[in-house]
Structure 1
Amino acid sequence: MARPRKALLDLDRIADTALELVDETGDFTVPEIARRLGVQTASVYHHVDGRPGIVELLRARVGTEIDATLLEGRPWESALRAFAYSYRAAFAAHPHLIRLLTGEPVRAPSVVAVYERMVVLMEEAGFAPEAVMVTLTAFENLLFGAALDLAAPEVMWTVPAEVSAPRLAAALAAQPTGTGRADRAFEFAINVLIDGFSRLLKQD
């Protein structure tokens, strides 16, 4: 019997199938991945190190949707801001993935390489070694939250008729009309964060 021209199973197919499940249901299981791919569960385990290995495949998979070349820009503020928008868009397309990724340490080689580029950017800007991971962690915390917000409904607050919240109601009425609530909030937040980074840099 002739060999099949394409391997029945590979890392890309496992990652794509896992991501489909996460987007659809919020999670994945190895048996369900195997079922969708039409293979035995043991065959999936032959390619990956269990669930943690698949989570890292997913981290690397969504990482391909982020434009890491933006980190090569200068000045550092502009580079970080542009990268932030790309990062937020990639994760907003797969919001359920955020919970899974925050439950496992980062170890995917392609993703570690991007973090290395971020550290180089911050060090070249003059950030002290002890400040680098503090700033990057704060940066990522904002981006994960912003990605979830971007994937959320445009109207996020509704005051029920039986609830007395006049100041909240007034604030909601005063906000700009039209779409873009999440975009406006993110633009404000990323500017505040980068301004805080700049002030931290001046203190070092």
Structure 2
Amino acid sequence: MARPSTPLLSREQILRAALEQLDRTGELGLPKLARQLDVGTSSLYHHFKGGREELVEGLRGLLTEEAMPEEPLPGESWQDFVRRWAGRYRSAFVAHPAAVPLMTAQTVTHPSTLASYETLARVLHDAGFDDEELLHAVTVLDNFVLGSALDAGAPVEVWADSGRPDSPLSRAIRATKAQPGDRSARAFHLGLESLLTGLEDLRDQDSPGR
């Protein structure tokens, strides 16, 4: 039988199907993905020779390639770049929280994602963060953003309201429900501003003459 003139599958088709599987089931399995696409598992390895690890990096790129900024804007402060970087990074994963554990389980190698992290590191370096603290700053921001993306996928009621009038937690739950907008998004902005303040203090401690 003659080989088809065009491939039956493309990398993007596989990645889109993998993301759909993740969103629907919370898991990523290559045999199940192959059955979903009505192909053999070997067909997936034809497009992703590195197997599951390469597929996960492909998903990372699919979600972040057009979302994460790779350059600061003219005149943009390091704080504003971090706000933009973190906000767009979080938005990339908010709709796909099941992808977060996969991303954190292996080394980041996707070129465009790495390029965005490189820009973040350069912006922080140019702002005065030294080599000893810079990677910790990037790690803290990364952990916070991905944790916030998971929080966005949490139940509407994360903590049960005991209904007790003497419970500060229950009073806070009721007060938060009465606030407009999304609880997770509000918490993200509050946490990010707190992080920026802490990072600025850290930078200034390392640079007594600043």
Alignment CA distance shift 1:71-1:23 (3 Å): farther
Q: C-alpha displacement at 1:27, in angstroms? A: 1.2
Note the aligned Cα RMSD (angstroms): 2.2
- Equivalent residue runs for 1:35-46 within 5 Å: 35-46=35-46
2:23 and 2:98 in contact (8 A); partners too: yes
Residue type at the aligned position of 1:166: S
What is the TM-score when the length of structure 1 is the normalising length? 0.89
Q: Cα distance 1:165–1:15, how it changes in 2: closer, same or farther (>3 A)?
A: farther
How far apart are 1:8 and its partner, in Å?
A: 1.2
Runs of 4+ with >3 A deviation: 1-6, 69-73, 173-176
Corresponding residue number in structure 1 for 2:101: 99
- With over 3 angstroms needed to count, the CA separation of the structure-2 counterparts of 1:113 and 1:147, relative to structure 1, is same
Check the 8 A contact 1:66/1:90 in 2, yes or no: yes
Match of 1:120 in 2: 122
* SS, match of residue 68 in structure 1: coil
Deviation at 1:51?
A: 1.1
Secondary structure, in 3 states, of the residue corresponding to 1:94? coil
Identity between Structure 1 and Structure 2 (%)? 36
The answer (yes or no) to whether the contact 1:154–1:179 under 8 Å persists in 2 is no
Question: Gaps spanning 5+ residues in structure 1: where?
Answer: none
Aligned to 2:171: 170
1:144-169 CA-to-partner distances (Å, cap 9, x unmatched) read: 111112222333222246x8972322
Deviates more, 1:54-63 or 1:67-76: 67-76
Q: Which moved more, 1:114-123 or 1:4-13?
A: 4-13
For 1:119-138, list aligned pairs within 5 A: 119-138=121-140
TM-score (ref. length: structure 2): 0.87
Cα 1:85–1:124, aligned 2, differ >3 Å: closer, same or farther?
Answer: same
Aligned to 1:60: 61
Give secondary structure in 2 for the equivalent of 1:106.
Answer: coil
Deviation at 1:106, TM superposition (A): 1.0
Corresponding residue of 1:140: 142
- Please report how far the alpha carbon of residue 54 of structure 1 lies from its aligned counterpart in structure 2 after TM superposition: 0.9
**1-side partners of 2:3 and 2:46: how far apart?**
20
Which sits farther off after the overlay, 107-116 or 21-30? 107-116
Residue of structure 2 equivalent to 1:20: 20
In the aligned structure 2, how far is the partner of 1:165 from the partner of 1:145? 30
- Is the 1:70–1:83 Cα contact (8 Å) retained in structure 2? no
1:130 partner SS:
helix
Number of the residue aligned with 1:32: 32
Distance 1:188 1:136, change over 3 A: same
Q: Which runs of 5+ in 2 are unaligned?
A: none
- Separation of aligned partners in 2, 1:69 and 1:110: 8
SS at match of 1:39: coil
1:7 partner SS:
coil
Give distance in 1, aligned partners of 2:179 and 2:69: 34
- TM-fit CA distance, 1:65: 4.4
1:70–1:82 CA contact under 8 A, matched in 2: no
